[in-house]
């Protein structure tokens, strides 16, 4: 398992980041190995009946990175290119993210290799339920807790919760987070990742002396995270000049009507055919002159190829792993782009997932305002700690965030010792 992960480019990317951080922390070799490789990496076959009666086999994955500080936690991705190595990298990043913001979780991530847009709702339901059925021996509210990620959503979490609860013989809302509010979901969870991104971006911009009215933002990816970040930032007074999805990118230097784009996207599934802005390519969007560039889709979109050409002042990583190692080096050398790294930038999602899990366990639900207040104060604390670490070690903001997260997990492993 370990050697096969090493052939994955995304897993290698996560490992190279880890090794750089581990060097800065002077971690001993044996501890490095224990921290780097996942505790469990599962691959499952899912035979599912299609609407036309045929049976098709789908491939699903779940990686639980470490179990040192509590259950593992992380999303479930539906995408035709998802593979075990990518899921293992995403699980590792979840570990550092949870530790950085102080959640009692290890990281996890799952994936099913298919395109949900190419299937009926009934087929997506059967694929989702079959995956949870296969996962039942390996998950639980105290073992591993799933949540939405790219391609999945609250309805998928409702099917997951129902499948697990049927097996348990009673409702187990804490088995997943990101559920609809009616069945134990948390107020504020749907918008938490994007709202958290918008909040952190605002805090960094204000810290650098910007007025929100002067700020222009380009967002790559207009799914849940990208669109909520757009709504949040335009609510703060920023101008959203470009957005994109699978159909391409849309640009209006005088500002896009983000509500209108969202309505169109909901109605037509994609922005294809939307005439609210000039059509450009996704590559052009990434290189636009803007105050803030927000990649909010998949990994490795800022690469050695385009890193020297991006023209933003702030790169806010709403996606996980959007910047390749080589691009990271180029941006560090350039020194004129402030990177808000993924493990900090998009942590709002898993923070409110944690609130949801706590509320489910207590069967006591909190008000929306209280949730946002608690979310923002955790983000402020994490941001402050990252800035202090950056100063103390004299490193990039990404290395500051990663060394903080990794050192907390390393310390927990040392304290618990090796069993037996």
Residues that bind ligand GLU (CB under 6 A): 73-75, 147, 149, 177-178, 320, 346, 349-350, 353
Nearer to ligand GLU, 159 or 274 (CB): 159
Rounded least distance, CB 180 to ligand GLU, Å: 15
Residue 155 neighbours by CB distance under 10 Å: 15
* Residue from 197, 202, 203, 247 nearest 221 by CA: 247
Residue 72 in contact with residue 106, Cβ under 8 Å? yes
Q: Using alpha carbons, list the distances in angstroms from residue 310 to 145, 225, 290, 295, 331.
A: 37, 21, 9, 12, 9
Rounded least distance, CB 289 to ligand GLU, Å: 29
* Residue from 230, 221, 222 nearest 198 by CA: 230
Nearer to ligand GLU, 74 or 188 (CB): 74
Q: Using alpha carbons, list the distances in angstroms from residue 247 to 14, 126, 180, 222.
A: 29, 27, 28, 11
- Give the span between the Cα atoms of 116 and 105, in whole angstroms: 29
Nearer to ligand GLU, 112 or 147 (CB): 147
- Which residue sits closest to ligand GLU, CB atoms considered? 75
Nearer to ligand GLU, 37 or 105 (CB): 105
Residue 77 in contact with residue 90, Cβ under 8 Å? yes
Residue 237 in contact with residue 314, Cβ under 8 Å? no
Q: Please tell me the number of Cα atoms within 13 Å of 415 on its side-chain side.
A: 8
Residue 316 neighbours by CB distance under 10 Å: 30
Rounded least distance, CB 74 to ligand GLU, Å: 5
Torsion angles phi and psi, residue 295, rounded to 5: -75, 125
Nearer to ligand GLU, 147 or 187 (CB): 147
Rounded least distance, CB 366 to ligand GLU, Å: 17
Rounded least distance, CB 160 to ligand GLU, Å: 12
Nearer to ligand GLU, 192 or 285 (CB): 192
The H-or-E segment that residue 411 falls in is helix 397-416
Nearer to ligand GLU, 177 or 216 (CB): 177
Rounded least distance, CB 189 to ligand GLU, Å: 8
DSSP string, 166-222: HHHTS--GGGBSS--GGGTPPTTHHHHHHHHHHHHHHHHHHHTT--GGG-EEEEE--
DSSP helix/strand/coil, 53 = coil
- Active-site residue 97, yes or no? no
Residue 219 in contact with residue 226, Cβ under 8 Å? yes
**Active-site residue, selected from the candidate residues 73, 97, 109, 179:** 109
- Give the span between the Cα atoms of 305 and 308, in whole angstroms: 7
Rounded least distance, CB 218 to ligand GLU, Å: 21
Q: Name the residues annotated as catalytic.
A: 109
């Amino acid at each position: 398992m370990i050697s096969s992960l090493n052939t994955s480019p995304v897993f290698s990317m996560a490992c190279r980041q880890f090794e750089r951080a581990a060097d800065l922390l002077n971690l001993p070799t044996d501890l490095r190995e224990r921290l780097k490789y996942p505790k469990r990496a599962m691959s499952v076959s899912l035979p599912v009946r299609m609407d036309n009666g045929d049976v098709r086999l789908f491939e699903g994955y779940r990686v639980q990175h470490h179990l040192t500080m509590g259950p593992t936690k992380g999303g479930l991705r539906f995408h035709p290119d998802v593979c075990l190595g990518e899921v293992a990298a995403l699980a590792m990043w979840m570990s550092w993210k949870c530790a950085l913001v102080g959640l009692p979780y290890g990281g996890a991530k799952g994936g099913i290799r298919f395109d949900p847009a190419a299937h009926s709702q009934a087929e997506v339901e059967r694929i989702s339920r079959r995956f949870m059925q296969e996962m039942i021996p390996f998950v639980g509210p105290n073992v591993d807790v799933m949540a939405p990620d790219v391609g999945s959503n609250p309805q998928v979490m409702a099917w997951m919760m129902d499948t697990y609860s049927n097996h348990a013989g009673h409702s187990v809302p804490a088995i997943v987070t990101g559920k609809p509010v009616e069945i134990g979901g948390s107020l504020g969870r749907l918008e938490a990742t994007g709202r958290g991104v918008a909040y952190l971006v605002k805090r960094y911009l204000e810290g650098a002396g910007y007025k929100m009215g002067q700020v222009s933002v380009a967002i790559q990816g207009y799914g849940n995270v990208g669109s909520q970040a757009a709504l949040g930032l335009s609510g703060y007074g920023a101008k959203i000049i470009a957005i994109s999805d699978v159909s391409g990118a849309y640009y209006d230097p005088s500002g896009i009507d983000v509500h209108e784009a969202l309505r169109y996207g909901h109605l037509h599934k994609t922005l294809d055919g939307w005439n609210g802005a000039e059509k450009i390519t996704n590559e052009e969007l990434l290189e636009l002159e803007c105050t803030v560039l927000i990649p909010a889709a998949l990994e490795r979109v800022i690469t050695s190829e385009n890193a020297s050409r991006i023209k933003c002042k702030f790169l806010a990583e709403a996606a996980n792993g959007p910047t390749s190692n080589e691009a990271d080096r180029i941006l560090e050398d350039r020194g004129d782009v402030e990177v808000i790294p993924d493990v900090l930038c998009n942590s709002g999602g898993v923070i409110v997932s944690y609130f949801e899990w706590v509320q489910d366990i207590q069967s006591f639900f909190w008000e929306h305002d209280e949730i946002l207040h608690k979310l923002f104060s955790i983000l402020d604390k994490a941001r402050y700690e990252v800035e202090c670490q950056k100063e103390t070690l004299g490193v990039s903001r990404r290395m500051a965030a990663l060394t903080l997260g990794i050192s907390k997990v390393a310390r927990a492993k040392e304290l618990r010792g090796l069993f037996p």
